[in-house]
Chain A
Amino acid sequence: MNHSAEHSAEKIEGQEPLMSRRAFSQVLFTGVGMCYAAAIGYPVYQYLASPISRASEAVAVNQVSLPDANKLEKGSAMMFKFGAKPGILIHHADDTWVAMEAVCTHLACTVQYQAEQNRLFCACHGGVYDTRTGANVAGPPPKPLQAYKVTVEPTSVVVSKV
């Protein structure tokens, strides 16, 4: 380690340091500067790019086919993946089918189906949605859940964007 102060370093002649003091501190502070630039630049980039990733997610998946989902019993529900997001498929007692995004519009927790109370419930902050329309009925959610179109086929259920 070359801990000596500047004047003593000059005293020792004929010893070529691997890297000059100046170059070293330049590298060091370029490094610090780059850390700062990255720490500020990354959030700013992500902030500006948000709609892009959102849009490409939306474009990527338009419909999913759920094999054997047509065997889902009446009065019950199942979760599925719609692209990157969870979705929920409900088979109501009167034989109607409903599917919607299962992401709570409040703080993006996953909602669950509660058959006995006939509601969609978000356990994070107690949001409640209607099981047929996805409308926000109670609690903090600001918007309804996004509903999908459901087509029941002989061996599967196809969920697609409206």
Chain B
Amino acid sequence: MSKLMSSLYGWVDERLGLEELVKFAKKKTVPQHQHSFWYYWGGISLFFFIVQSLTGLLLLVYYRPGPDAYESVRQITYEIQFGWLIRSAHAWSANLMVAAVFIHMFSVYFMKAYRYPREFGWWTGMVLLVLCLLFGFSGYLLPMDELSYFATKVGLEIPAALPAVGPWIANLFRGGLEVSEQTVQRFFALHVVLLPMLFIPFLFIHLWLVQKHGNATIPSEMEKPEYLRRSIPFFPNFLMKDLALWLIALNVMSLLASIFPWEIGEPADALKPAPTGIHPEWYYMSAFQMLKVLGNVFPGALGEGLGITIFTLGLILWFFIPLYDGKHENGVKARNATYFGLLALFILIATTAWGYMVL
């Protein structure tokens, strides 16, 4: 049996060069220090993305966009065997993926892992984050129940607040002046075709860059002499720990999906008044609340324009941080970047919490 396996492996190896991959993976090492825990969050995000792809594919089997959207999700939830499970797994792992991606981003930021030569890792990561948020936004509408309908409606206020192009973008998203069947249809196309088509190549570049440059060592470790730094081989040691966390992630997701299965509300009805406390998904809460606050301070188009401008400026700074703080030294720039990061984190958490408190 094992003889057969090894000759089969030999046959494949000769043609694909698997041995080189293994050699490469064995040579690669991952730094080991007291903050190593944060290295795993990229892997966890990747795991949830895989879950998303598989469960999404399964949902695609029964989901019907357009006027039938609500009915098809109702059938998946209540009539198809284990449909509730697949749908709940998809919804929960979407939320967990966004959370993992955010944690990954902030840990990369504070570990200064965006510095030379990893700038492109940071930039591709930012693109992936934006795509991930769009995945969330477009997917949320698809069941077309009351909650998702109104959440999408208020969520579209964010792009609509952009100066000049805002309403035009919002209309393009909606496929009309109101959220309707048209919107579901195009969100569906976005969610299952366009976004994956963009996401997957960026993901591969991102992963390839990680393989090429390896994990960044944190600045405080870099200051230590070489012989005091520790590292573990990527294969199999790091990979095994990665797998352990994947198992835990799978378990946490199943637990959430089984104890808090995603229900479906009343069908969306544009004529009904919006239920009280309607708000976008939690990962849009911060932007939503900031717009609301600035809109109150500076009434009218000025406030909204100002809000979105400040927001965009912040995002641009965030995006280009490697150009500002790209050197391996801990000077003023490095400290400023850290302060900026802490400020961003604080604003994000504070506005999100604020948004939920005033609901």
Let me know if chains A and B touch directly in the complex, using CB atoms closer than 8 Å: yes
B74, B82, B83, B267 — most chain A CB neighbours (10 Å): B82
A50 touching B80 by the CB < 8 A rule?
Answer: yes
Q: Which of B61, B71, B86 contacts A43 (CB 8 A)?
A: B86
B74 touching A142 by the CB < 8 A rule?
Answer: yes
Docked complex Cα distance between A53 and B83 (Å)? 14
Docked complex Cα distance between A51 and B78 (Å)? 13
Chain A 122-159, CB-CB to B under 8 Å as 1, else 0, gives 00000000000000000000100000000000000000
B-contacting residues, A32-51, CB 8 Å: 43-44, 46-51
B78 touching A49 by the CB < 8 A rule?
Answer: no
Q: Which of B61, B71, B78 contacts A48 (CB 8 A)?
A: B61
Docked complex Cα distance between A108 and B78 (Å)? 9
Q: Does A107 contact B (CB under 8 A)?
A: yes
Report how many residues on chain B are interfacial, defined by Cβ distance under 8 Å.
Answer: 13
Docked complex Cα distance between A142 and B267 (Å)? 10
Q: Which of B58, B74, B78, B79 contacts A44 (CB 8 A)?
A: B58
Residues in A neighbouring B81, C-beta threshold 8 A: 43, 46-47, 49-50, 53
A47 touching B58 by the CB < 8 A rule?
Answer: yes
A147 CB, nearest partner CB in chain B, Å: 19
Q: Does B85 contact A (CB under 8 A)?
A: yes
**Chain B, Cβ-Cβ closest to A106:** B78
Q: Which of A47, A107, A108 contacts B80 (CB 8 A)?
A: A47
Residues in B neighbouring A48, C-beta threshold 8 A: 58, 61
Residues in B neighbouring A53, C-beta threshold 8 A: 81
A-contacting residues, B79-108, CB 8 Å: 79-83, 85-86
B92 CB, nearest partner CB in chain A, Å: 15
A-contacting residues, B46-83, CB 8 Å: 58, 61, 71, 74, 78-83
Residues in B neighbouring A50, C-beta threshold 8 A: 79-81, 83
A103 CB, nearest partner CB in chain B, Å: 11
* Chain B contact residues: helix, strand, loop or mixed: helix
Residues in B neighbouring A142, C-beta threshold 8 A: 71, 74, 267
B74, B80, B81, B83 — most chain A CB neighbours (10 Å): B81
A104 CB, nearest partner CB in chain B, Å: 11
Docked complex Cα distance between A152 and B279 (Å)? 57
Docked complex Cα distance between A148 and B320 (Å)? 68
Residues in B neighbouring A51, C-beta threshold 8 A: 80
Docked complex Cα distance between A108 and B83 (Å)? 15
A47, A51, A107 — most chain B CB neighbours (10 Å): A47
Chain A 69-81, CB-CB to B under 8 Å as 1, else 0, gives 0000000000000
Chain A 82-109, CB-CB to B under 8 Å as 1, else 0, gives 0000000000000000000000000110
Chain A 24-67, CB-CB to B under 8 Å as 1, else 0, gives 00000000000000000001101111110100000000000000
A157 CB, nearest partner CB in chain B, Å: 29
A46 touching B78 by the CB < 8 A rule?
Answer: no
A49 CB, nearest partner CB in chain B, Å: 7
A107 touching B78 by the CB < 8 A rule?
Answer: yes
Residues in A neighbouring B79, C-beta threshold 8 A: 50
**Chain A, Cβ-Cβ closest to B71:** A142
B3 CB, nearest partner CB in chain A, Å: 15
A-contacting residues, B249-272, CB 8 Å: 267
A85 CB, nearest partner CB in chain B, Å: 13
B264 CB, nearest partner CB in chain A, Å: 10
A47 touching B74 by the CB < 8 A rule?
Answer: no
Docked complex Cα distance between A108 and B74 (Å)? 13
**Chain B, Cβ-Cβ closest to A48:** B61
**Chain A, Cβ-Cβ closest to B87:** A47
Residues in B neighbouring A108, C-beta threshold 8 A: 78
Docked complex Cα distance between A49 and B62 (Å)? 12
Docked complex Cα distance between A50 and B79 (Å)? 9
Docked complex Cα distance between A46 and B81 (Å)? 6
Docked complex Cα distance between A142 and B79 (Å)? 13
By Cβ-Cβ distance, the 8 closest A-B pairs, closest first, are: A43-B82, A46-B81, A50-B80, A47-B82, A50-B81, A46-B82, A43-B85, A47-B86
Q: A residues bordering B, Cβ < 8 Å?
A: 43-44, 46-51, 53, 107-108, 142
18 chain-A/chain-B pairs, Cβ below 8 angstroms: A43-B85, A43-B86, A44-B82, A44-B86, A47-B58, A47-B61, A47-B80, A47-B81, A47-B83, A47-B85, A48-B61, A50-B79, A50-B81, A50-B83, A53-B81, A108-B78, A142-B71, A142-B267
